[in-house]
Amino acid sequence: MATPLTLLDALLRGTLLALLLLMAAVLRRDRPRAPAALAGVAISLGLAVQVLGAMPWIEDLLAGSPGFAPVIGISVANAVLFWVFVEALFDDEFVLRPRHLLAWGAAVLLGMLNCLSAGVHATPLRDLTMTLQRAVPVVFSVLAVLAAARHWRADLVEGRRRLRAFLLVSGVAYTLAMLLVRLGSDQGRLSALAALIDVLALLVMVSAAAWGLLRLGAGELFPQTEPVAPPEPEAQHASTEPAAVAADAPDPADERLALALQRAMDEERAYRDEGLSVASLAARLGAPEYRLRRLINQRLGHRNFNAFVNGYRLAEARAALVDPRRAELPVLSIALDAGFQSIGPFNRAFKAATGLTPTEFRREKLADS
């Protein structure tokens, strides 16, 4: 006979499953090819499998059977999907690579192997695989922290910065808390009360994350998929110039900041400064950091401060590469003069913007002239 605790557990799980499937559908609809959307769909479906598999009566019925192994494998690998989702959501240049799929596949196989060998007496190999399984959530929680913290201050989308903090803190806390609970339970299985607390915590987290994702909208969450043509060297600051702000902006403080930013970037070439950051530029302009973020994001249309600065640096580099008087100047010197700290990031950024290496670009343009 079903107890009130069992009925409440089933109600919460049904609500959570519906919310996870709704979130997956919305992410898939808004940006079907965006890496962050694909990762969001994957983690939503992975959590749906985990929610179903963690139901006490399902664990009692299927625990130890071969049919339960995929459920355990997917549940273990959700820590990997969380890391991939965090990386994709907060890095506009994220690309899904084979290492991400290999890490997820390895975690699935590890969880399945340990599930299938649950009835086997302890052996050194089983002890090793169980240790590895327990390490998966810890390792990938650390990786998720590093991914979310990377370029934290360069993110100009304020809503996304708040979502980043929430996902980071709640996701890591939940992962580690459940690891400790399962380590302290009999054969890693949750009691009815622990399972109820587990689904309640997940429901709160997923509800808040879904609200944040839906409230932000696809335009703020994901970069535009259509490529934007880089400005020509002779009009190198057209796409980032504060003078192009909306004419109906009423805030005099924003107008003064826009002019100061234009002067700092166009005339003083602040983008050449090594290690330029939002904080250092705001201090240079004598403005609050949040106001500068809002100006560059909402009025100039940039999502990332590093991309904003690199737009100026690349424009200067292109102008130097097409100048016949600098034809003998090494590419490295041009990169360093424009504010890049080494040739590697310059080459990658240049090819991403133009489709050519700096040397190819110079050869083509000088040949045309």
DSSP conformational letter for 298: I
Looking at residues 129-142, what average pLDDT do you find? 88
Report pLDDT digits (tens) over 199-246.
Answer: 888 888 888 877 777 676 656 666 654 433 334 444 444 344 444 444
Where do the structural domains in the chain lie, given as residue ranges? Answer: 4-221, 233-368
Q: What is the secondary structure of 248-274 as a DSSP string? A: T---HHHHHHHHHHHIIIIIS-GGGST
Residue 86's pLDDT band (boundaries 50, 70, 90)?
confident
What confidence tens digit (pLDDT) does each residue in 288-312 have?
998 999 999 888 888 889 889 999 9
Looking at domain 233-368, its CATH class is mainly alpha
> In this predicted structure, what is the pLDDT of residue 245?
40
Q: What is the dihedral of CA 145, 148, 149, 150, to 10 degrees?
A: 120
3-state helix, strand, coil in the chain (%, to 5): 75, 0, 25
Look up tokens 């009692």; give the residue. Answer: 60
DSSP structural state of residue 299: I
Q: Could you tell me the end-to-end alpha-carbon distance of the chain, in angstroms, rounded to an integer?
A: 85
142 closest CA partner among 87, 204, 201: 87
| Dihedral in degrees, nearest 10, Cα atoms 329, 333, 335, 336 | -160
Q: How far apart are CA 332 and CA 337, in angstroms?
A: 9
Using one digit for the tens of pLDDT, what is the confidence trace for 267-277? 999 999 988 99
Considering only CA atoms, which of 136, 205, 140 is closest in space to residue 169? 205
DSSP label at residue 295 = I
**Structural contact between residues 39 and 33, judged by C-beta atoms closer than 8 angstroms:** no
Cα distance between residue 186 and residue 219, in whole Å:
46
E strand or H helix at 287: none
Instruction: Please give the distance of CA 15 from its chain centroid, rounded to a whole number.
Output: 26
Give per-residue pLDDT as tens, 312-359: 999 999 999 999 998 889 999 999 999 998 999 899 999 988 999 999
Torsion (CA) 128, 133, 135, 138 in degrees, nearest 10: 180
Rounded CA separation 163/160 (Å):
5
Hey, do 4-221 and 233-368 end up sharing a CATH topology, with the first three levels equal? Answer: no
Q: How far apart are CA 299 and CA 185, in angstroms?
A: 54
58's tokens: 């399902």
- Residue 299 backbone class (left: φ over 0; alpha: ψ -120 to 50; beta: rest): alpha
What does the pLDDT average to over 285-290?
92
CATH architecture for segment(s) 4-221: Up-down Bundle (1.20)
- 9 CB-near residues (< 8 Å, 6+ apart): 55, 56, 192, 195, 196, 199
pLDDT at 250: 54
Assign residue 217 a region: left if phi > 0, alpha if psi is -120 to 50, beta otherwise? Answer: left
For residue 215, give every residue at least 6 positions away whose Cβ sits within 8 Å of its Cβ, in sequence order, or none.
159
